[in-house]
Amino acid sequence: MSNYAQQFCSGRSTDARCASGGVPDTLRRPFHIPSIDAGDPCPVAQPNPDIWSREAPALGPGPVAPIGLGERAVLRYRRFPGSTWGGQKVLWVAAPKYDGPVLIRGGRVDAAGGLGFNADGGGPPLAELQLPPGSAPTNTNRGGYREWPSYTRVTSPGCYAYQVDGTDFSYVVVFEAAPMDDA
């Protein structure tokens, strides 16, 4: 498909709200990411080597999880020229036991700050990531996992969380975001 909105929002071209995308309304549960006081430690998600692999563990309980934030759950992002947003690639995977739709939203938990998504890091970020049921845009058939490459976009360093909603689960994955030049 030619762009993120067409890949992840029911094949329709849409704007950043993507509000009526392809996921069922039942996945639009109340938004429940935590909040912490500025300066408190970020309660990052633990790696889960049972999802994906020990070399590149996913974060959170699964069955759908982000990969690419490392053992310490840090999104090392770069600034995009001409934008107030930065971002980095994140691979979303769904374990073989789950083939339903997924809705991923997020936000900053320690202060004000935006979190968004898109496929290639270009253009304005979308407010949510919608992953369709069944097959995925790329599927290496690595143990039956479905895969969706994407970018997580942020406006500033800090503590952030994804809320991951599927047909029979809803959970939060907390991570830190830091610019690459702070590595």
Q: If pLDDT is split at 50, 70 and 90, which confidence band does 7 have?
A: very low
Q: Helices marked H in 41-152 — which ranges?
A: none
Phi-psi group of 4: left, alpha or beta (phi > 0 → left; psi -120 to 50 → alpha; rest → beta) = alpha
Angle at 118 between CA 145 and CA 25, to 5 degrees: 70
Phi-psi group of 169: left, alpha or beta (phi > 0 → left; psi -120 to 50 → alpha; rest → beta) = beta
User: Could you give the CA distance from residue 130 to residue 21 in angstroms, rounded to a whole number?
Assistant: 7
**Tens digit of pLDDT for each residue in 46-103?**
998 888 776 678 999 999 999 999 889 999 999 988 888 999 999 999 998 898 999 9
pLDDT of 120: 75
Q: Give the 3-state secondary structure of residue 55.
A: coil
pLDDT of 137: 53
- Taking 90 as the threshold, does the pLDDT of residue 146 lie above it? no
Half-sphere exposure of 2 (CA within 13 A, CB side): 3
pLDDT of 122: 75
User: Could you give the CA distance from residue 101 to residue 94 in angstroms, rounded to a whole number?
Assistant: 10
Task: At 132, list the tokens.
Answer: 């369709």
- Taking 70 as the threshold, does the pLDDT of residue 10 lie above it? no
Q: What is the CA radius of gyration of the chain?
A: 15
pLDDT of 136: 52
Q: Give the 3-state secondary structure of residue 5.
A: helix
Percentage of the chain modeled with pLDDT above 70: 82
- Taking 50 as the threshold, does the pLDDT of residue 148 lie above it? yes
Q: Please, what are the domains in the chain?
A: 4-10+60-182 (2.60.40)
Which residues have C-beta within 8 Å of that of residue 166, sequence separation ≥ 6?
A: 27, 63, 64, 98, 100, 101, 102, 103
Closest Cα partner for 101 from 65, 134, 63, 142?
A: 134
pLDDT of 107: 96
Task: At 39, list the tokens.
Answer: 């300066």
Q: Which residue has the higher pLDDT, 62 or 122?
A: 62
Amino acid, res. 67:
I
The least confident of 40-49, 138-147, 149-158 is 138-147
Task: At 71, list the tokens.
Answer: 């053992």
pLDDT of 104: 96
Mean pLDDT of the chain: 83
